Every structure is written in structure tokens, then in C-alpha cells.
A and B are shown apart, each in its own frame.
Chain A
Amino acid sequence: GAVVSQHPSWVICKSGTSVKIECRSLDFQATTMFWYRQFPKQSLMLMATSNEGSKATYEQGVEKDKFLINHASLTLSTLTVTSAHPEDSSFYICSARGLPLGAKNIQYFGAGTRLSVL
């Protein structure tokens, strides 16, 4: 099956610093990746759709300048949380749609990054 690697798995940073999270598709090419945010005991909330070679599409209410997404290659998307604050502390998860592209929209998820902002 498709494997998605996410790094780092856990990060602690000081308020005001920026944090970069990487999401890689290891054995397939992903023209589209997705970034989610998940608070404890809650569902996955889609933040943005990352498109290779073009700008990301952000969901309503998600600050583009706060959460920078870059999808420079077919196997790598990055999410940078800029000027992080304690309220940005959360579990961030990426996913990619698996191949072959068919009727089933199966997404493969990274292991997630737990961000704690002090």
C-alpha cells in the first residue's frame, strides 16, 4: 500500500518561532496532498489542499499567511506554521490520495506531528 511519511512526529517551540512540517509520499507520486488539524477528542479538520506546482487551496477560516504550504515536488509537501503561538498547539496530519486514482477516494495519512508552542 501507499506510504506517507511525516516529520517531525513531535516538536516543541517557543512562541513567535516558525515550525516546518514535512510530508512525503514514499512509494508513489502525489499531485495532491492534504493538511489537517486535529484537537484532542475531535475530528480531522481540513486546513488546505496542497497542489504540486501551484498554490494551495485553503479552507474557509484558515490563515494563508499563518500556515504556509509548499508542494515543490510530486513527493513532498511542507506546512510551515509561522510565528507560532500557544493556540496553534495541535496535532497536524497530512494525507495523500492513493493510486490508482479511481472511484474510491482512499487517502493515506502520515503519522502526524504534535506541535506544542510554549
Chain B
Amino acid sequence: GQSLEQPSEVTAVEGAIVQINCTYQTSGFYGLSWYQQHDGGAPTFLSYNALDGLEETGRFSSFLSRSDSYGYLLLQELQMKDSASYFCAVGLTGGGNKLTFGTGTQLKVEL
């Protein structure tokens, strides 16, 4: 079956840089997305990689390597408000428009 694995928790200090990894086993997908979700809130879109390489959007960057079945989200200049859960997600080929989400990583930013 399809699976996207992420570390369950990551802790970092304010101002630091943190990388959240996503390793996957899928038969084929269009691209890798990242979503942020604060406790009790709605997931919000952060970044998308259709091709291998790095995509940069402000303090957030995302990377994809299809050959390694691996991607990551990089958060720079961490702020307290970045404490949230982060999910990678893929749109599977032949899966219509639906997304399959990773296991999720809870990021805790400390002073």
C-alpha cells in the first residue's frame, strides 16, 4: 500500500533551522505537498514539489528526491508560532484529486 512516514515529534529553539523529513512508498504520484496544522485548526498549504529539487517560499523550503523516495520541509528562523503539526501529502496517479497524507510531525519551538 501507500505510506508516507514522518518523525512524530521534533523540538527546536526559536531562531533555529529545522528539517522535517518525509519518506514514502508509493507506486506513483504527481507531487509532494506540505501542510501546517495548528491544534484544533484547519490544515493550510505551505509548499509543493512537482519536480526534484528545492522550492523556496519565504522562511519555508521544501525538497523532493524521487530517486530516494524522500522529501523534506525546511523551516528557517523558527518562531514560536511555528509550533504546529506538519504533514506531507501526495496526489497519487490514478487517484483522482484526492491526497494521501503522511503520519505527521509535531513541531515544538522553545525559547
Interface size class of B (residues with CB under 8 A): 20 to 34
Q: Is the CB–CB distance between A111 and B45 below 8 Å?
A: no
Is A43 located at the chain interface by the 8 A CB criterion?
yes
Q: Is the CB–CB distance between B99 and A103 below 8 Å?
A: no
Q: Is the CB–CB distance between A43 and B42 below 8 Å?
A: no
Q: Which residues of B are found within 8 Å of A32, using beta-carbon distances?
A: 96-97
Q: Is the CB–CB distance between B104 and A43 below 8 Å?
A: yes
> A-facing mask of B28-45, CB < 8 A → 1, else 0?
001101000000111111
Q: Which residues of B are found within 8 Å of A42, using beta-carbon distances?
A: 104
Q: Is the CB–CB distance between A105 and B40 below 8 Å?
A: no
Is B50 located at the chain interface by the 8 A CB criterion?
yes
Is A46 located at the chain interface by the 8 A CB criterion?
yes
Q: How many A-B residue pairs have CB under 8 A?
A: 60
Is A49 located at the chain interface by the 8 A CB criterion?
yes
B35 to chain A, nearest CB (A): 8
Known: A34-B98, A43-B101, A43-B103. A112 touches B42 (CB 8 A): yes
A8 to B50, CA, bound (A): 35
Q: Is the CB–CB distance between A109 and B44 below 8 Å?
A: yes
Q: Is the CB–CB distance between A43 and B98 below 8 Å?
A: no
> B-facing mask of A35-50, CB < 8 A → 1, else 0?
0000001111110010
Q: Which residues of A are found within 8 Å of B98, using beta-carbon distances?
A: 34, 46, 49
Is B48 located at the chain interface by the 8 A CB criterion?
yes
Contact sample, A vs B, 10 pairs, CB 8 Å cutoff = A34-B97, A43-B87, A43-B101, A44-B87, A93-B42, A93-B43, A104-B48, A105-B30, A106-B48, A111-B42
Across the A-B interface, the 7 shortest Cβ-Cβ residue pairs: A109-B42, A105-B91, A43-B104, A44-B101, A111-B42, A109-B43, A43-B101
B residues with a Cβ closer than 8 A to A are: 30-31, 33, 40-45, 48, 50, 87, 91, 96-104, 106
